């Protein structure tokens, strides 16, 4: 069964600090991995999409890494800002399957404190 596990479940850090969120998956056959940011009461917004051949991708202060061998990904946030407070959802796409084979993690709830 395809699964995506994220850790930690929640995280609180001070403004200006860095943090790293983890995503482990068992999805086959792998197509791509996405990180989404979801603000409270809003729909998810895509941060990065990585295919099998990519092992890092940046979007501003967000940097995602992918290790397809160990089936792990991380999202690193640099110099956090209050607006980074949100849920971060890891989504893995398999070739074929419902909704293009997307399997969603439960997300990491990140709180940035001033």
Partner 1 sequence: GAGVSQTPSNKVTEKGKYVELRCDPISGHTALYWYRQSLGQGPEFLIYFQGTGAADDSGLPNDRFFAVRPEGSVSTLKIQRTERGDSAVYLCASSLTSGGAYEQYFGPGTRLTVT
Interface ranges with partner 1 (CB under 8 A)? 4, 31-32, 34, 36, 41-46, 49, 51, 89, 91, 93-95, 97-102, 104-107, 109
Nearest distance in Å: CB 90, partner 1: 8
- Other beta carbons within 10 angstroms of residue 66's beta carbon come to 24
- CA distances to 18, 25, 85 from 12, in Å: 11, 24, 9
Q: Where are the alpha helices (DSSP H) in 49-108?
A: 98-101
Choice between 68 and 102, CB closer to partner 1 = 102
Nearest distance in Å: CB 80, partner 1: 22
């Amino acid at each position: 069964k395809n699964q995506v596990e994220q850790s930690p479940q929640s995280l609180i850090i001070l403004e200006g600090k860095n943090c790293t969120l983890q995503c482990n998956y068992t999805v086959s056959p792998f197509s791509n991995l996405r990180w989404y940011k979801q603000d409270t009461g809003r729909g998810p917004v895509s941060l990065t999409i990585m295919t099998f051949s990519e092992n890092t991708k940046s979007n501003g202060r967000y940097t995602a890494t992918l290790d397809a061998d160990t089936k792990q990904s991380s999202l690193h946030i640099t110099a956090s800002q209050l607006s980074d407070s949100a849920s971060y959802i890891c989504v893995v796409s398999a070739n074929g399957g419902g909704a293009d084979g997307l399997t969603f993690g439960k997300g990491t709830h990140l709180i940035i404190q001033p």
